[in-house]
Amino acid sequence: MKSDCIQTTICQERKKDPIEMFHSGQLVKVCAPMVRYSKLAFRTLVRKYSCDLCYTPMIVAADFVRSIKARDSEFTTNQGDCPLIVQFAANDARILSDAARIVCPYANGIDINCGCPQRWAMAEGYGACLINKPELVRDMVKQVRNEVENPRFSVSVKIRIHDDLPRTIDLCRKAEATGVSWITVHGRTVEERHQPVHYDAIKIIKENMSIPVIANGDIRSLKEAENVWQITRTDGVMVARGLLANPALFAGYEETPLKCIWDWVDIALELGTPYMCFHQHLMYMMEKITSRQEKRIFNALSSTSAVLDYLTEHYGI
Protein backbone atom coordinates (compact mmCIF):
# COMPACT_ATOMS: atom_id res chain seq x y z
CA MET A 1 0.00 0.00 0.00
CA LYS A 2 1.30 3.45 -0.88
CA SER A 3 1.06 5.84 2.02
CA ASP A 4 1.26 8.83 -0.31
CA CYS A 5 -2.41 8.24 -1.09
CA ILE A 6 -3.24 9.96 2.17
CA GLN A 7 -3.71 13.73 1.99
CA THR A 8 -1.25 14.59 4.75
CA THR A 9 2.07 16.14 5.54
CA ILE A 10 4.58 13.76 7.08
CA CYS A 11 5.95 14.74 10.46
CA GLN A 12 9.53 13.71 9.76
CA GLU A 13 10.68 13.67 13.36
CA ARG A 14 8.05 12.98 15.98
CA LYS A 15 10.07 14.13 18.95
CA LYS A 16 7.30 13.79 21.53
CA ASP A 17 7.40 10.07 22.25
CA PRO A 18 4.26 8.97 24.15
CA ILE A 19 6.18 6.21 25.94
CA GLU A 20 8.59 8.79 27.33
CA MET A 21 5.63 10.92 28.41
CA PHE A 22 4.11 8.03 30.34
CA HIS A 23 7.37 7.47 32.21
CA SER A 24 7.78 11.13 33.14
CA GLY A 25 5.84 10.83 36.39
CA GLN A 26 3.54 13.64 35.25
CA LEU A 27 -0.13 13.36 34.37
CA VAL A 28 -0.42 12.66 30.62
CA LYS A 29 -3.60 14.32 29.32
CA VAL A 30 -5.18 12.43 26.43
CA CYS A 31 -7.96 13.27 23.95
CA ALA A 32 -10.04 10.15 23.32
CA PRO A 33 -10.94 8.65 19.95
CA MET A 34 -14.42 10.00 19.17
CA VAL A 35 -16.28 9.03 16.01
CA ARG A 36 -16.94 12.14 13.88
CA TYR A 37 -15.39 14.48 16.42
CA SER A 38 -11.69 13.91 17.22
CA LYS A 39 -10.53 14.85 13.74
CA LEU A 40 -7.60 17.07 12.81
CA ALA A 41 -9.28 20.44 13.49
CA PHE A 42 -10.47 19.43 16.96
CA ARG A 43 -7.11 17.81 17.78
CA THR A 44 -5.42 21.06 16.76
CA LEU A 45 -7.70 22.97 19.12
CA VAL A 46 -7.22 20.79 22.22
CA ARG A 47 -3.45 20.75 21.68
CA LYS A 48 -3.54 24.56 22.14
CA TYR A 49 -5.06 23.94 25.57
CA SER A 50 -2.60 21.54 27.22
CA CYS A 51 -3.67 18.23 25.70
CA ASP A 52 -0.55 16.02 25.50
CA LEU A 53 -1.66 13.16 23.24
CA CYS A 54 -4.48 12.83 20.70
CA TYR A 55 -6.23 9.87 19.10
CA THR A 56 -7.99 9.84 15.75
CA PRO A 57 -11.61 8.69 15.58
CA MET A 58 -12.01 4.93 15.27
CA ILE A 59 -11.28 3.86 11.68
CA VAL A 60 -12.38 0.49 10.27
CA ALA A 61 -9.09 -1.07 9.18
CA ALA A 62 -10.57 -3.18 6.36
CA ASP A 63 -12.15 -0.14 4.66
CA PHE A 64 -9.00 1.90 5.21
CA VAL A 65 -6.78 -0.70 3.54
CA ARG A 66 -9.17 -1.38 0.68
CA SER A 67 -10.18 2.15 -0.31
CA ILE A 68 -8.13 5.22 -1.18
CA LYS A 69 -11.33 7.25 -0.77
CA ALA A 70 -11.71 5.94 2.79
CA ARG A 71 -8.13 6.85 3.59
CA ASP A 72 -8.52 10.37 2.28
CA SER A 73 -11.77 10.98 4.17
CA GLU A 74 -10.94 9.18 7.43
CA PHE A 75 -7.36 10.20 8.11
CA THR A 76 -5.86 13.67 7.77
CA THR A 77 -2.93 15.06 9.70
CA ASN A 78 -0.19 17.68 9.50
CA GLN A 79 3.17 18.47 11.06
CA GLY A 80 1.70 20.03 14.18
CA ASP A 81 -0.55 17.03 14.83
CA CYS A 82 1.90 15.26 17.06
CA PRO A 83 2.06 13.00 19.02
CA LEU A 84 -0.76 11.11 17.33
CA ILE A 85 -2.30 7.66 17.76
CA VAL A 86 -4.51 6.20 15.02
CA GLN A 87 -7.25 3.97 16.41
CA PHE A 88 -8.45 1.05 14.30
CA ALA A 89 -11.40 -1.29 14.53
CA ALA A 90 -10.06 -4.64 13.35
CA ASN A 91 -10.60 -8.37 13.68
CA ASP A 92 -7.91 -9.61 11.31
CA ALA A 93 -4.18 -9.48 12.02
CA ARG A 94 -3.06 -9.14 8.39
CA ILE A 95 -5.48 -6.31 7.63
CA LEU A 96 -4.51 -4.45 10.79
CA SER A 97 -0.80 -4.73 10.02
CA ASP A 98 -1.42 -3.40 6.50
CA ALA A 99 -3.29 -0.43 7.96
CA ALA A 100 -0.51 0.16 10.49
CA ARG A 101 2.13 0.21 7.75
CA ILE A 102 0.13 2.81 5.82
CA VAL A 103 -0.10 5.23 8.76
CA CYS A 104 3.35 4.54 10.23
CA PRO A 105 5.07 7.52 8.53
CA TYR A 106 2.36 9.86 9.78
CA ALA A 107 1.71 8.78 13.38
CA ASN A 108 3.39 7.67 16.58
CA GLY A 109 1.40 4.47 16.84
CA ILE A 110 -1.88 2.64 16.46
CA ASP A 111 -4.51 1.60 18.98
CA ILE A 112 -6.78 -1.44 18.72
CA ASN A 113 -10.35 -0.67 19.71
CA CYS A 114 -11.38 -3.37 22.18
CA GLY A 115 -13.90 -1.22 24.00
CA CYS A 116 -16.63 0.07 21.66
CA PRO A 117 -19.94 -1.35 22.96
CA GLN A 118 -22.05 -0.38 19.93
CA ARG A 119 -24.00 -3.30 18.51
CA TRP A 120 -22.88 -2.83 14.92
CA ALA A 121 -19.21 -2.92 15.95
CA MET A 122 -19.60 -6.03 18.06
CA ALA A 123 -21.65 -7.73 15.33
CA GLU A 124 -18.71 -7.20 12.96
CA GLY A 125 -16.27 -8.65 15.47
CA TYR A 126 -14.85 -5.26 16.43
CA GLY A 127 -14.74 -3.30 19.65
CA ALA A 128 -15.66 -4.69 23.04
CA CYS A 129 -16.22 -8.26 21.85
CA LEU A 130 -12.41 -8.49 21.58
CA ILE A 131 -12.02 -8.45 25.36
CA ASN A 132 -13.28 -12.02 25.15
CA LYS A 133 -10.78 -12.95 22.43
CA PRO A 134 -7.30 -12.47 23.96
CA GLU A 135 -5.71 -14.80 21.40
CA LEU A 136 -6.96 -12.66 18.50
CA VAL A 137 -5.71 -9.50 20.22
CA ARG A 138 -2.34 -11.22 20.71
CA ASP A 139 -2.16 -12.19 17.03
CA MET A 140 -2.99 -8.65 15.86
CA VAL A 141 -0.36 -7.09 18.12
CA LYS A 142 2.29 -9.60 17.01
CA GLN A 143 1.50 -9.09 13.34
CA VAL A 144 1.87 -5.31 13.63
CA ARG A 145 5.11 -5.71 15.58
CA ASN A 146 6.48 -8.00 12.86
CA GLU A 147 5.41 -5.81 9.93
CA VAL A 148 6.22 -2.30 11.16
CA GLU A 149 9.97 -1.75 11.17
CA ASN A 150 10.05 1.35 13.38
CA PRO A 151 10.73 0.08 16.94
CA ARG A 152 9.34 3.31 18.45
CA PHE A 153 5.97 2.82 16.76
CA SER A 154 3.53 2.04 19.57
CA VAL A 155 0.79 -0.58 19.58
CA SER A 156 -1.81 -0.03 22.30
CA VAL A 157 -5.27 -1.32 23.16
CA LYS A 158 -8.35 0.35 24.62
CA ILE A 159 -10.63 -1.95 26.60
CA ARG A 160 -13.66 -2.14 28.84
CA ILE A 161 -13.70 -4.29 31.95
CA HIS A 162 -15.40 -7.64 32.58
CA ASP A 163 -17.86 -8.23 35.40
CA ASP A 164 -15.27 -10.73 36.54
CA LEU A 165 -12.23 -8.47 37.01
CA PRO A 166 -9.65 -11.31 37.06
CA ARG A 167 -10.59 -11.98 33.41
CA THR A 168 -9.67 -8.39 32.57
CA ILE A 169 -6.40 -8.66 34.46
CA ASP A 170 -5.62 -11.87 32.56
CA LEU A 171 -6.39 -10.15 29.25
CA CYS A 172 -4.11 -7.24 30.14
CA ARG A 173 -1.28 -9.52 31.21
CA LYS A 174 -1.50 -11.46 27.96
CA ALA A 175 -1.50 -8.21 25.98
CA GLU A 176 1.52 -6.98 27.92
CA ALA A 177 3.38 -10.24 27.26
CA THR A 178 2.65 -9.86 23.54
CA GLY A 179 4.29 -6.44 23.37
CA VAL A 180 1.50 -3.91 23.86
CA SER A 181 2.94 -0.45 24.59
CA TRP A 182 0.16 0.64 26.98
CA ILE A 183 -3.46 -0.09 27.82
CA THR A 184 -6.35 2.34 28.16
CA VAL A 185 -9.09 1.13 30.49
CA HIS A 186 -12.62 2.48 30.33
CA GLY A 187 -13.90 1.57 33.77
CA ARG A 188 -17.28 0.16 32.75
CA THR A 189 -18.49 -3.18 31.45
CA VAL A 190 -19.94 -3.62 27.98
CA GLU A 191 -23.49 -3.41 29.39
CA GLU A 192 -22.88 -0.26 31.42
CA ARG A 193 -23.48 3.15 29.85
CA HIS A 194 -24.16 5.84 32.45
CA GLN A 195 -23.44 3.92 35.63
CA PRO A 196 -20.58 5.13 37.84
CA VAL A 197 -17.09 4.34 36.55
CA HIS A 198 -15.23 1.60 38.42
CA TYR A 199 -12.04 3.53 39.18
CA ASP A 200 -11.17 0.91 41.80
CA ALA A 201 -11.03 -1.69 39.03
CA ILE A 202 -8.69 0.52 36.98
CA LYS A 203 -6.45 0.88 40.04
CA ILE A 204 -6.26 -2.91 40.46
CA ILE A 205 -5.45 -3.39 36.79
CA LYS A 206 -2.66 -0.81 37.04
CA GLU A 207 -1.22 -2.60 40.06
CA ASN A 208 -0.93 -5.77 37.98
CA MET A 209 0.78 -4.13 34.99
CA SER A 210 4.37 -3.11 34.26
CA ILE A 211 3.41 -1.12 31.15
CA PRO A 212 1.63 2.27 31.30
CA VAL A 213 -2.13 2.36 31.91
CA ILE A 214 -4.51 5.21 30.99
CA ALA A 215 -7.73 5.73 32.95
CA ASN A 216 -10.88 6.64 31.03
CA GLY A 217 -14.48 7.46 31.94
CA ASP A 218 -16.66 10.41 33.01
CA ILE A 219 -14.00 13.07 33.55
CA ARG A 220 -15.37 16.61 33.22
CA SER A 221 -12.66 18.90 34.60
CA LEU A 222 -8.93 19.12 35.20
CA LYS A 223 -9.54 18.64 38.92
CA GLU A 224 -11.43 15.42 38.23
CA ALA A 225 -8.65 14.28 35.88
CA GLU A 226 -6.06 14.86 38.59
CA ASN A 227 -8.22 13.08 41.19
CA VAL A 228 -8.70 10.03 38.94
CA TRP A 229 -4.98 9.99 38.20
CA GLN A 230 -4.18 9.97 41.92
CA ILE A 231 -6.88 7.43 42.84
CA THR A 232 -5.97 4.94 40.12
CA ARG A 233 -2.19 5.55 40.14
CA THR A 234 -2.30 5.36 36.36
CA ASP A 235 0.07 7.09 33.95
CA GLY A 236 -2.47 9.18 32.09
CA VAL A 237 -6.12 10.17 31.87
CA MET A 238 -8.24 10.06 28.70
CA VAL A 239 -11.23 12.37 28.22
CA ALA A 240 -13.98 12.25 25.58
CA ARG A 241 -17.28 14.09 26.17
CA GLY A 242 -15.71 16.42 28.71
CA LEU A 243 -13.43 17.79 25.99
CA LEU A 244 -16.31 18.14 23.55
CA ALA A 245 -18.09 20.38 26.06
CA ASN A 246 -14.91 22.21 27.02
CA PRO A 247 -11.85 21.82 24.76
CA ALA A 248 -9.89 23.95 27.25
CA LEU A 249 -10.56 21.48 30.09
CA PHE A 250 -6.95 20.31 30.38
CA ALA A 251 -5.79 23.92 30.71
CA GLY A 252 -7.89 24.27 33.87
CA TYR A 253 -10.93 26.16 32.54
CA GLU A 254 -14.24 25.20 34.16
CA GLU A 255 -16.17 26.07 31.00
CA THR A 256 -15.21 26.91 27.44
CA PRO A 257 -13.59 30.38 27.34
CA LEU A 258 -14.50 32.74 24.51
CA LYS A 259 -10.87 32.63 23.35
CA CYS A 260 -11.28 28.90 22.74
CA ILE A 261 -14.38 29.52 20.63
CA TRP A 262 -12.46 32.09 18.61
CA ASP A 263 -9.63 29.59 18.15
CA TRP A 264 -12.08 26.93 16.97
CA VAL A 265 -13.54 29.27 14.34
CA ASP A 266 -10.06 30.15 13.05
CA ILE A 267 -8.83 26.54 12.97
CA ALA A 268 -12.01 25.12 11.45
CA LEU A 269 -12.12 27.70 8.68
CA GLU A 270 -8.42 27.34 7.96
CA LEU A 271 -8.66 23.55 7.66
CA GLY A 272 -11.93 23.54 5.72
CA THR A 273 -14.01 21.75 8.34
CA PRO A 274 -17.44 20.70 6.97
CA TYR A 275 -20.29 22.85 8.26
CA MET A 276 -22.08 20.12 10.21
CA CYS A 277 -18.94 19.32 12.18
CA PHE A 278 -18.05 23.01 12.63
CA HIS A 279 -21.53 23.81 13.97
CA GLN A 280 -21.87 20.69 16.13
CA HIS A 281 -18.62 21.41 17.97
CA LEU A 282 -19.80 24.95 18.69
CA MET A 283 -23.09 23.62 20.03
CA TYR A 284 -21.18 21.43 22.48
CA MET A 285 -18.77 24.22 23.46
CA MET A 286 -21.51 26.77 24.07
CA GLU A 287 -23.83 24.46 26.02
CA LYS A 288 -23.00 26.02 29.40
CA ILE A 289 -22.70 29.62 28.29
CA THR A 290 -25.98 30.04 26.39
CA SER A 291 -29.56 30.30 27.59
CA ARG A 292 -32.28 27.92 26.41
CA GLN A 293 -33.59 30.55 23.99
CA GLU A 294 -30.11 31.27 22.65
CA LYS A 295 -29.58 27.54 22.10
CA ARG A 296 -32.76 27.28 20.03
CA ILE A 297 -31.63 30.14 17.81
CA PHE A 298 -28.00 29.05 17.49
CA ASN A 299 -28.74 25.37 16.93
CA ALA A 300 -31.12 26.24 14.09
CA LEU A 301 -28.48 28.14 12.10
CA SER A 302 -27.80 26.47 8.76
CA SER A 303 -24.68 28.05 7.27
CA THR A 304 -21.18 29.09 8.23
CA SER A 305 -21.92 32.72 7.43
CA ALA A 306 -24.99 32.66 9.70
CA VAL A 307 -22.90 31.21 12.54
CA LEU A 308 -20.19 33.84 12.06
CA ASP A 309 -22.78 36.62 12.04
CA TYR A 310 -24.34 35.27 15.23
CA LEU A 311 -21.01 34.99 17.03
CA THR A 312 -19.97 38.45 15.92
CA GLU A 313 -23.24 40.00 17.10
CA HIS A 314 -23.45 38.20 20.45
CA TYR A 315 -19.83 37.60 21.44
CA GLY A 316 -17.79 40.06 19.43
CA ILE A 317 -15.96 37.30 17.57
Q: How many CB atoms lie within 10 A of CB 232?
A: 24
Q: Is 23 annotated as a binding residue?
A: no
Q: Is 58 annotated as a binding residue?
A: no
Catalytic residue (one of 31, 54, 104, 116):
116
Q: Is 62 annotated as a binding residue?
A: no
Q: How many CB atoms lie within 10 A of CB 268?
A: 23
Backbone φ and ψ of 164, nearest 5°: -95, 95
| DSSP label at residue 39 | S
* Nearest one of 207, 305, 262 to 49, comparing CA atoms: 262
Q: Is 103 annotated as a binding residue?
A: no
Q: Would you mind telling me the total number of residues written for the chain in this entry? A: 317
Q: Is 137 helix (H, G, I), strand (E, B) or coil?
A: helix
Q: Is 117 annotated as a binding residue?
A: no
Separation of alpha carbons 205 and 293, rounded Å: 46
Q: Is 35 annotated as a binding residue?
A: yes
Measured CA to CA in angstroms, residue 62 lies from 4, 91, 93, 125, 299 at distances of 18, 9, 11, 12, 35
Q: Is 137 annotated as a binding residue?
A: no
* Cα distance between the two ends of the chain: 44
| DSSP label at residue 54 | E
Question: Is 172 labeled as catalytic in the residue annotation?
Answer: no
Are residues 147 and 101 in contact, defined by beta-carbon separation less than 8 angstroms?
Answer: yes
Backbone φ and ψ of 257, nearest 5°: -75, 155
List, as residue ranges, the binding site: 33-35, 87, 186, 240-241
Q: Which residues are marked as active site?
A: 116
